[in-house]
Structure 1
Amino acid sequence: MDTSPLISIIIPAYDRGHLIKETLTSVLKQSYKQWECIVVDDGSTDNTKQVVEEFTEKDARFYYYRRPDDYPKGANSCRNLGFEKSTGVFINWLDSDDLLSEDKLAAQLELLQHSHHEGIVFTCKWNRFTGSTEGIAPKQSHINRAFPTGLDLLKAFDKKASFFPCHAYLVSRDLIDKAGLWDETLLVNQDGEFFTRILIHAKEVLHPERGMVYYRTPQTEGVSNFQNREKMESSIQSWKRIEDHLRQAAPEADFPFLEHARNYLFEKIGDRQFLKEHRDFFKKQFYRRRLWPRFVRKINQVFKT
């Protein structure tokens, strides 16, 4: 009898018929065989269902569910429903347009022989892609390593490396039970808020030398997030919650990525009136903006003399 732990791969999908076949194929090719793959359809109007059923018909490890009408619409709701349906000891969240290398799961679970199941988060190397993944090597980063706790990884996030994509993580089920499921009210940065809670509770972060994931670079989504007032509001709310989580868990610790996030939002959000409405959140950014003209004038005076 195979005693290898079962991994549940959970995929929310909406109108991904043109991309999800490649994603599911990357799951099917995993060298680690003890997995189930749960696809939750968010009400697609294209051929997503038909594409997924090609996989469910040939491999019993694939499951297809359609989000019930009484569940809120959105990827987070689908992820939470997928978790309810899952039975794995470990959970791998995967978006319907992203990919796993064939050895991703095997490489991560090989590290289990040196540890236990509870309280573990695995990460792995990753990189972006747009079309083919051929020839794409992992990003080089100082966070591509193990950490004693999840808080230590959170402290290491900074301007140069502020996140892992959600499918780079492999999370023990007990951690999700402790940290809670995805926040269905957030429209932007849901993964940042969710994995902050996960890492706060993580007793250990393991990182294999091999295996990676591929993150499909969105073509327009990042721009629309900063032109849509509702999404701008949701983004700020996500970062306020992240900061609250961290201050409660480690009040005296320094988390450089928090200020980097503020700077990034302040530069990207084009609606200046909206920024003024959130002046308390962007206090340092407004202060630096006031000082900058004075600094420039002083520099000019120095060079004139």
Structure 2
Amino acid sequence: MQELVSVIIPVFNRAHCIEETLRCVQAQTYAHWECILVDDGSTDDSMDVVSAFAKADPRIRLLRRPDSLPKGANSCRNFGFENSKGTYINWLDSDDLMSPNKLEEQLKRLSEASEQNLVSTCKWNKFVNETTGILPRDQHINRDFHHGIALLQAFDARSPFFPCHSYLVSRRIIASSGLWDVSLRINQDGEFFTRVLIHAEKVVHPKEGMVYYRVPQKGSVSQLDSKEKAEAAIQSWESISAHLEKITPNVTYAYIENAKDYLYTKIQDPSIVKSHTSFFATQLKKSQQGVNLLRKMKRKLQQLFSVN
């Protein structure tokens, strides 16, 4: 018996690209899937496009986020999951794409494993308009891991990662790890998949199949161009740190330190850093050490040039 895969897509004003995304789902060589799209209140023609696909293909379903739920992609993902039936879940953003063999290759590897709380990753790369000729990134994390924690530990100083649609996740894991955090505005996928990987007994990575991540346009929510976004980014990484501290106390993750270093250099408002001194403790210590070193060098130079 073939396992059902639920592909869940939040949609907001994507009339210009949602057709391409849906066609990449329909092109999958593994055909036993359902695709659930959840509209977040689109004001363009997105829903007309999706409705036409749903009418022609019964595997595609269009839902609308209830007004009782907060606006945002995370609410749409959670609502889609609650209305899904798949043994495995593939989250897909409305502007990203998958190779035709993505699901088939991942399910082959998953079917070979004896564990039940399983995750599969796959190769990926960025694209702007076309995916033709784009090869996957060569990353040291493109391999199997004996546990999800091992993958989190492999997110080292080279700052590798997998976008959300590269993962195929057992429904059993989500029941344990919990759904998407609707309070987060930035790095929602980083926080969510940290919890998923904490609960993953094994991570398998097929040799074939990949996904394509569309390069965000200027003004993306992920850019730290306001105090609110900076605070939201810190909130997400504080949550990630708390999750891992519960499971592996006193263990340092390069995954988290890389993020802290990045945020520390990108946040322009010093009051934000000052209000999160515990979070930025290592970065502040390094900064102070640098200041002390400069002062020491300055005194040495003054002593040298003041002789005679």
Q: Quick check: 42-51 or 287-296, which moved more?
A: 287-296
Where does residue 262 of structure 1 map in the other structure? 260
Q: Distance in 2 between matches of 1:287 and 1:255?
A: 18
Does the Cα contact within 8 Å between 2:110 and 2:120 map onto a contact in 1?
no
Q: Indicate the RMSD between aligned Cα atoms, in angstroms.
A: 1.7
Where does residue 141 of structure 2 map in the other structure? 143
Offset at 1:68? 1.2
Q: Distance in 2 between matches of 1:200 and 1:298?
A: 45
Q: Distance in 1 between matches of 2:290 and 2:252?
A: 26
Aligned length: 302
Q: Distance in 2 between matches of 1:284 and 1:29?
A: 48
Where does residue 277 of structure 1 map in the other structure? 275
Offset at 1:254? 3.4
Offset at 1:135? 1.1
Q: Distance in 1 between matches of 2:221 and 2:69?
A: 28
Q: Distance in 2 between matches of 1:203 and 1:186?
A: 26
Matched AA of 2:125? N
Does the Cα contact within 8 Å between 2:119 and 2:202 map onto a contact in 1?
yes
Does the Cα contact within 8 Å between 1:104 and 1:211 map onto a contact in 2?
yes
Q: Distance in 1 between matches of 2:90 and 2:278?
A: 37
Does the Cα contact within 8 Å between 1:141 and 1:161 map onto a contact in 2?
no
Does the Cα contact within 8 Å between 2:120 and 2:204 map onto a contact in 1?
yes
Q: TM-score, normalised by structure 1?
A: 0.94
Match of 1:233 among 231, 234, 243: 231
Q: Quick check: 288-297 or 125-134, which moved more?
A: 288-297
Deviation per CA, 1:169-198: give whole Å up to 9, x if none. 000000000000000000001111110111
Deviation per CA, 1:40-59: give whole Å up to 9, x if none. 00000000101111211111
Match of 1:206 among 188, 204, 207: 204
Offset at 1:159? 2.6
Q: Quick check: 10-19 or 284-293, which moved more?
A: 284-293
Pair member with larger Rg: 2
Where does residue 15 of structure 1 map in the other structure? 13
Q: Distance in 1 between matches of 2:178 and 2:219?
A: 27
Does the Cα contact within 8 Å between 1:138 and 1:212 map onto a contact in 2?
yes
Does the Cα contact within 8 Å between 1:6 and 1:36 map onto a contact in 2?
yes
Alignment of 1:155-174 (within 5 A): 155-174=153-172
Where does residue 66 of structure 1 map in the other structure? 64
Alignment of 1:39-188 (within 5 A): 39-116=37-114, 118-188=116-186
Matched AA of 1:240? E
Structure 1's unaligned 5+ residue stretches are none
Offset at 1:253? 3.3
Q: TM-score, normalised by structure 2?
A: 0.93
Q: Quick check: 113-122 or 220-229, which moved more?
A: 220-229
Q: Distance in 2 between matches of 1:133 and 1:204?
A: 30
Where does residue 243 of structure 1 map in the other structure? 241
Q: Distance in 1 between matches of 2:221 and 2:26?
A: 33
Percent identity of paired positions between Structure 1 and Structure 2: 50
Offset at 1:299? 6.0
Where does residue 287 of structure 1 map in the other structure? 285
Matched AA of 2:261? N
Structure 2's unaligned 5+ residue stretches are none
Distance verdict in 2 for CA 1:128–1:184, change over 3 Å: same
